[in-house]
A and B are shown apart, each in its own frame.
Chain A
């Protein structure tokens, strides 16, 4: 199956700075890459996703980039705020048709006020 590696495992930034989380995947057939945010004690929630036919996608302060050749993708959060503090998970899958999302091990982001 797919193997997704995520770095760093923890990340602390000052409020207003940018945060970058990186993931690599092993299966070149993967074509769907979502990012989930999980606040303490809550369920993971989808915040942004990208499909392999595009290289970048933005949604306000959040952006995701994809390099298919190198098989890595990244989450970028600009102008970080304390409410961005959470655990972030990347994932990879083959869509449509196949069923499984393979997750990275998570990054705990702390935004220091």
Chain B
């Protein structure tokens, strides 16, 4: 689907450790997003990027950082993972002015 892949698909990590999730796209889209999905909260935006080295915060950005050094890769880092960051993380790209396409998701468990 639109050449977007996330890695890893599943990860279990310990509290306090750093974690990096990767989103890779193959179609040169400018806009990329990281969302988290939790029961009762829907999808909430963490960070987004509008170009190489151009990023901005979303509504739930505390505890997360991002980087985009190449058009195709958008990395999400949890500097020191906490149990509240246990979630399913989705990357998305925006195609044209309107449509979002999501990656397959990363299920992260912080123990």
Residues of B with C-beta under 8 A to A45? 102
Q: Is the interface of B mostly helix, strand, loop or mixed?
A: strand
- Please tell me the number of chain B residues within 8 Å of chain A, measured between CB atoms: 26
Residues 81-113 of A, flagged 1 when their CB comes within 8 A of B and 0 if not, give 000000001010001100111111110000000
Instruction: Give B residues with C-beta under 8 Å from A.
Output: 1, 31, 33, 35, 40-45, 48, 50, 56, 58-59, 90, 94, 97-105
Residues of A with C-beta under 8 A to B59? 1, 102
Please give me the residue from chain B that is nearest to A93 by CB atom.
B98
Q: How many angstroms from the CA of A89 to the CA of B50 in the assembled complex?
A: 24
Instruction: Give A residues with C-beta under 8 Å from B.
Output: 1, 6, 32, 34, 42-46, 49, 51, 89, 91, 95-96, 99-106
Contacting pair A46 B100 (CB below 8 A)? yes
Pick the residue among A91, A96, A101, A106 that contacts B97 (CB under 8 A).
Answer: A96
Pick the residue among B1, B43, B101, B104 that contacts A103 (CB under 8 A).
Answer: B43
